[in-house]
Amino acid sequence: MKIAIVCYPTFGGSGVVATELGLELSKRGHEIHFITYNQPVRLELISHNVHYHEVNVPEYPLFHYQPYELALSSKLVDMVKLHGIEILHVHYAIPHAYAAYMAKKMLQEEDIYLPIVTTLHGTDITLVGSHPFYKPAVTFSINKSDAVTAVSQSLKDDTLRLFDIKNDIHVVPNFIDLEKHNLHGFKDCQRGMMAQDDEKIITHISNLRPVKRVQDVISVFYNIQKEMPAKLMFIGEGPEKEKVELRCQELGILDKVVFFGKSNEIDKILCFSDLFLLPSLTESFGLAALEAMASGVPVISSNTGGIPEVNIHGESGFLSPVGDIEDMTKNALYILKDEKRLKTFKNNARKQSLNFDLHAIVPKYEAIYEDTLAKCLVL
Ligand code: GMT
C-alpha cells in the first residue's frame, strides 16, 4: 500500500509512535510518505520506500496565526496526486484530522477517493480537544474519518464520554521495538560514568509540561535519596524545567540530578536505570513507561488514564493515586532496597513489555487499512 502519515515531528509520544509505525510498515513492503512541518526526530533514514515531504507555511504580515492546516491540506492533495497515495493515516486529531478531511473533499472534486484513518493519542482528546474552542471541529473530524483508533481502552472511553461520536473506535495500543531495547544489546551501559556502584539510578523522561507533574518526580526522588545513595536522570525539555532546577537547588540535591535535555539515546540511558518515575496527572497510555519497561526498568507511576493498561501494579512496578508522594516513595523504596526484589521487578517489567511487541501490533493497523480501503471501494 502507499500510505501517507501525518504527525507532529517532535519528541512527543504521538510523533514517536507514528514514525516507528511508518518505519515498520516500510519494512513490511509498504511505501510510506511522512507529511509534516519538520523531519520527524526518530526518522533517521530516508530509504527507497520511506519519503518525507515538508509542509511550508510562508509568513505574511496579515496573518496573526499562520494557517498551518490550510498548507497541510494543500500539501496532502498535491502529494496524493503526485505519488498515488492510497490511504492517509493522521496521528493526533488536532488539526490533522481536520486538514485530512479538507484534503479528502478537495480530492473528491477530481474523483480521487482518499480514505482517512485517525489515531487519537491523548491530549488531543483529554486536555486540548475537549476545550469548547476546539470541540465542534474535533467531533466533526473524528466522525468524518473512515476509521478511528485510540491508543488505550481508557482513551476510547474518554473520547466516547467527552464527544458525541458516531464512529466505531478501535483500540490499538502503542507498541515497542523490543530489539532496540534489547537488554543484551549494550554489554557495557557505561553506568560508571553516571553513578557510583552503590548508587541507584532513577529516571524520568517527558516533555516537562504541567500534566507530567515533574515536581512530584523531584519530591519522590528527594525522599529516596534520604534513605539510600541515588542519582536522578532527568530527560526532556519543557516549560517546567526551570522550576525543577530551582527546586533541586533549594533542596540541595542539584549534584544528584543530571539534566540531559532532549535525547535520541533514551535506550542507552534506560539501560543503566534502576527505576522509572511517571507521576502524571493524566496519560492516555504512557509510552515512556513502556520504553522503560522494555529496557527492564520497573515503573512507579500514577494510576491515571491508560497507565494501568501498561504498568501492572505489584508486577512491573506500582501504581499510586495522582499526587500521593508518600505512596510512590514507599513503593520505590520497597523495590530498590532489596537487590533480589529489584531483579524480579526488572524481569517482570521486561516481560510485561513483550505484550506490546511491534510485530504483534503493527499488523492490527495494516488490517484496519485493508478493511477501510475495502469498505471505501464498495461505497
Ligand atoms: O505526553 C504528551 O504530552 C505528549 C503526547 C503526544 O501527543 O505526543 O502524548 C500522548 O500520546 C502518547 C503516544 O500515544 C501517549 O503515550 C501519552 O500518554 C499521551 N499523553 C497524554 O495523554 C498526556
Residues 80, 83: Cα–Cα separation, whole Å: 6
Pick the atom of ligand 1 nearest to 122's CA: 22
Mark whether 327 and 373 lie in a shared domain.
no
Mark whether 163 and 267 lie in a shared domain.
no
Mark whether 112 and 212 lie in a shared domain.
no
Q: Provide the greatest CA pair distance for the chain.
A: 68
Q: Is the pLDDT of residue 185 over 70?
A: no
Choose the residue to mutate in 118, 284, 291 for probing ligand 1, maximizing ligand atoms within 8 Å of C-beta.
284
Mark whether 14 and 159 lie in a shared domain.
yes
SS (H, E, C) the chain: CEEEEECCCCCCHHHHHHHHHHHHHHHCCCEEEEEECCCCCCCCCCCCCEEEEECCCCCCCCCCCCCHHHHHHHHHHHHHHHHCCCEEEEECHHHHHHHHHHHHHHHHCCCCCCCEEEEECCCCCCCCCCCCCCHHHHHHHHHHCCEEEECCHHHHHHHHHHCCCCCCEEECCCCECCCCCCCCCCCCCCHHHCCCCCCEEEEEECCCCHHHCHHHHHHHHHHHHHHCCEEEEEECCCCCHHHHHHHHHHHCCHHHEEEEECCCCHHHHHHCCCEEEECCCCCCCCHHHHHHHHCCCCEEEECCCCHHHHCCECCCEEEECCCCHHHHHHHHHHHHCCHHHHHHHHHHHHHHHHHHEHHHHHHHHHHHHHHHHHHHHHC
Q: How far is the CA of 17 from the centre of ligand 1 (A)?
A: 10
Q: How far is the CA of 122 from the centre of ligand 1 (A)?
A: 5
Residues 207, 8: Cα–Cα separation, whole Å: 14
Q: Is the pLDDT of residue 189 over 80?
A: no
pLDDT digits 0-9 by tens, 173-182: 999 999 887 6
Question: What local confidence, expressed as pLDDT, does residue 61 receive?
Answer: 85
Q: Can you read off the three cell numbers belonging to residue 177?
A: 521495538
Mark whether 144 and 99 lie in a shared domain.
yes
pLDDT digits 0-9 by tens, 16-42: 999 999 999 999 999 999 999 988 877
Mark whether 187 and 154 lie in a shared domain.
no
Mark whether 234 and 370 lie in a shared domain.
no
Q: Is the pLDDT of residue 12 over 90?
A: no
pLDDT digits 0-9 by tens, 206-243: 999 999 999 999 999 999 999 999 999 999 999 999 99
Mark whether 170 and 245 lie in a shared domain.
no
Q: Can you read off the three cell numbers belonging to residue 355?
A: 505484550
Q: How far is the CA of 140 from the centre of ligand 1 (A)?
A: 22
Question: What local confidence, expressed as pLDDT, does residue 183 receive?
Answer: 58
Query: Which protein residue's CA is at the shortest distance from atom 2 of ligand 1?
Result: 12
Residues 146, 168: Cα–Cα separation, whole Å: 10
Mark whether 165 and 198 lie in a shared domain.
no
Question: Is ligand 1 within 6 A of the CB of residue 115?
Answer: no
Q: How far is the CA of 278 from the centre of ligand 1 (A)?
A: 12
Q: Is the pLDDT of residue 378 over 70?
A: no
Q: Is the pLDDT of residue 188 over 70?
A: no
Q: Domain limits at 369?
A: 2-175+358-378
Number of domains in the chain: 2
Q: Is the pLDDT of residue 123 over 70?
A: yes
Q: Can you read off the three cell numbers belonging to residue 342?
A: 529489584
Q: How far is the CA of 206 from the centre of ligand 1 (A)?
A: 9
Which residues touch 284 (CB under 8 Å, ≥6 apart)? 120, 121, 122, 123, 125, 126, 150, 151, 152, 154, 155, 158, 305, 306
Degrees, nearest 5: CA angle 371-175-160: 60
pLDDT digits 0-9 by tens, 149-173: 999 999 999 999 999 999 999 999 9
Which residues touch 292 (CB under 8 Å, ≥6 apart)? 203, 205, 270, 273, 276, 298, 299, 349
pLDDT digits 0-9 by tens, 270-322: 999 999 999 999 999 999 999 999 999 999 999 999 999 999 999 999 999 99
Q: Is the pLDDT of residue 85 over 80?
A: yes
Q: How far is the CA of 287 from the centre of ligand 1 (A)?
A: 7
Question: Is ligand 1 within 6 A of the CB of residue 145?
Answer: no
Average pLDDT over residues 177-191: 72
Mark whether 137 and 213 lie in a shared domain.
no
| CATH code of the domain containing 124 | 3.40.50.2000
Strands 116-120 and 147-150: parallel
Choose the residue to mutate in 287, 302, 356 for probing ligand 1, maximizing ligand atoms within 8 Å of C-beta.
287
Whole-structure pTM value: 0.93
Mark whether 233 and 328 lie in a shared domain.
yes
Strands 50-54 and 147-150: unpaired
Question: What local confidence, expressed as pLDDT, does residue 365 receive?
Answer: 98
Q: How far is the CA of 229 from the centre of ligand 1 (A)?
A: 32
Question: What local confidence, expressed as pLDDT, does residue 186 receive?
Answer: 53
Question: What local confidence, expressed as pLDDT, does residue 109 receive?
Answer: 96
Mark whether 143 and 237 lie in a shared domain.
no
Question: Is ligand 1 within 6 A of the CB of residue 12?
Answer: yes
